[in-house]
Structure 1
Amino acid sequence: MGKKTASRIASLEDAPADAALIRQVVASAGFECVSFGESRRLLLALRDAGFDLLLLDWQMPDLSGREVLAWVRTHLDRRIPVMFLSCRDAEHDIVSALAAGADDYMVKPIRPAELAARIEALLRRAYPAQASPHAPLRLGDYAFDCALRKVTCNGQPIGLTPKEFDLAVLLFRHEGRIVTRDHITAAVWGREISPMSRTIDTHVSRVRSKLGLQAEHGMRLTPVYTHGYRLERMAHAERAAA
């Protein structure tokens, strides 16, 4: 199986010193960190790229962290963990942020060891299946035995090549979120693939066909133009209309 890729974390912070410290803490914990100094830039990035966790400052020059949180909870997978890193230390601010959908809240100044521990705890809680690469995975009609590297649909075995199996598991573990082409190449192939290559698209097509990712099984695998793919469950109404 391809090498395991680091979780991608987005940091919204307009103070350069704090942004640099956050990147250092995240990198030291073994994760990838992308910094944004403006809320609108983060929102644009969230439309196109997948992140596993968001670190938000409250007071930003354009949209506040609270406004960003509201957008995230409305438009993104609600499972994505969001943590505030803020100078606002009033109890009602903390309670307000948590009530609005934040998963954690740390009052500045940032304490590196504590921040790293909280990030790891949030990721474990949000993505328990990723704690072990051999953990079984079930979604809809599909069941993956990652230890034996076998997959079934409604109990019927489906034959996948090793790369197809790794790709299918990656997509199913990230159900509802965009999996970028870079993430796919790193996780499944462990090396770079030429942008002109059709390797990824060919494997995705085979996975879609072999697993029958269609209305019958309540799953849909769609391309996200220039970025990657997203596997998502279909609502009952969509399944009936298909």
Structure 2
Amino acid sequence: MAHSLLLVDDEPRIRRVLRLALEDEGYQVAEAANGYDALAALRREPPDVVLLDLMLPDRDGFTVCREIRRTSDVPVIMVTARTDSHDVVAGLEAGADDYVTKPLVAKELSARIRALLRRVEPANARQLDLLVVGDLRIDVAGAEVSRGDTVLPLTRTEFKLLAELAGAEGKVLSREQLLSKVWGYGYFGDSRIVDVHIRRLRLKIEHDPASPKHLVTARGLGYRLVS
């Protein structure tokens, strides 16, 4: 069955070109020209991936992404013509799973989408079904993290990152290892995507994100998850 995409861009020509190219790659593509229509389409028929342009006429992509994250963990790829690192980081902190810059090359975009879809598929069956780190219970099979009776609202990418760190059993994983394991071998984006997702994870799993007890930094080496 073909994966479904929601393409959000206010330029009809760009939407048409991308839709035709992505349909040639085997995707089912729905379109939205603004943030309001995108959110309505998401509620009506949730896609497998959202391609979200940063510059929209009614509200910017950051705002739309934050609104998506209030109710959905659907993977979001932010699309931007800007190369400023501040915009990239802001998009990731708003809840995007990845980002691409214009002009877009259809084959490269399709590769990023495939990598993202692999990332959010159910965890490999060889992994343990349940991991416990401190007061966190990580249900690998169910892709769910809980503390007591409370399920924590992680995105699929955040869950994958946490599960990889938990599976390392306290060992340090470098940014490069995490990029390969979570974002896929050959990922060609900015490695700071790891740092941004780590910050987002800490906000959700740590009692005091400024002084993390579980998700800790190994200076100059990477990150590890400890009980």
TM-score band, normalised by shorter chain: 0.5 to 0.7
Closer/same/farther in 2, CA of residues 107 and 139 from structure 1, 3 Å limit: closer
What is the distance in 2 between the residues matched to 1:41 and 1:16? 14
Structure 1 outlier segments of 4+, above 4 Å:
137-140
Q: Given the alignment of the two structures, is residue 93 of structure 1 paired with residue 87 of structure 2, yes or no?
A: yes
Cα displacement string for residues 73-126 of structure 1 (whole angstroms, at most 9, x for unaligned residues): 1111x2x21001111211110011112211111110011111010011111111
Consecutive unaligned residues of structure 1, counting only runs of 5 or more, are 131-136, 141-242
CA distance in structure 1 between the aligned counterparts of 2:91 and 2:56, rounded to whole angstroms: 15
Which among 12, 23, 29 is matched to residue 16 of structure 1?
A: 12
TM-score, length of structure 2 as denominator length: 0.53
Q: Does 1:53 align with 2:49?
A: yes
- Give, as a single letter, the amino acid of the residue that structure 2 aligns with 1:70: R
**What CA distance in whole angstroms lies between the structure 1 residues aligned with 2:49 and 2:96?**
11
Residue equivalent to 1:67 = 63
Find 1:111's aligned residue among 82, 105, 116: 105
Q: With the length of structure 1 as denominator, give the TM-score of the two structures.
A: 0.50
SS at match of 2:100: strand
Please report the RMSD computed on the Cα atoms of aligned residues, expressed in angstroms: 2.0
Matches within 5 A, 1:72-221: 72-76=68-72, 78=73, 80-128=74-122, 138-139=141-142
Q: 1:31 to 1:128 in 2, by over 3 A?
A: farther
- Asked if the contact 2:122/2:141 (under 8 Å) is kept, the reply is no
Identity %: 35
Could you tell me how far 1:138 is from its partner in structure 2?
5.0
5+ unaligned residues in a row in structure 2: which ranges?
Answer: 125-139, 144-227
The number of residue pairs the alignment matches comes to: 128
Distance in 2 (alpha carbons) for counterparts of 1:128 and 1:18 = 33
> Partner amino acid for 2:97?
D
Contact 2:78-2:100 within 8 A present in 1 as well:
yes
Q: Is the 8 A contact 2:32 2:41 kept in 1?
A: no
What SS does the corresponding residue of 1:42 show, helix, strand or coil?
Answer: helix
Equivalence map 1:19-30=2 (5 Å):
19-30=15-26
Mapped partners of 1:45, 1:73: distance in 2: 15
Cα distance in 1, alignment partners of residues 18 and 107 from structure 2: 11
SS at match of 1:83: strand
SS in 2 for 1:35: strand
Q: Deviations over 1:220-239 (max 9, x none)?
A: xxxxxxxxxxxxxxxxxxxx
Structure with bigger gyration radius? 1
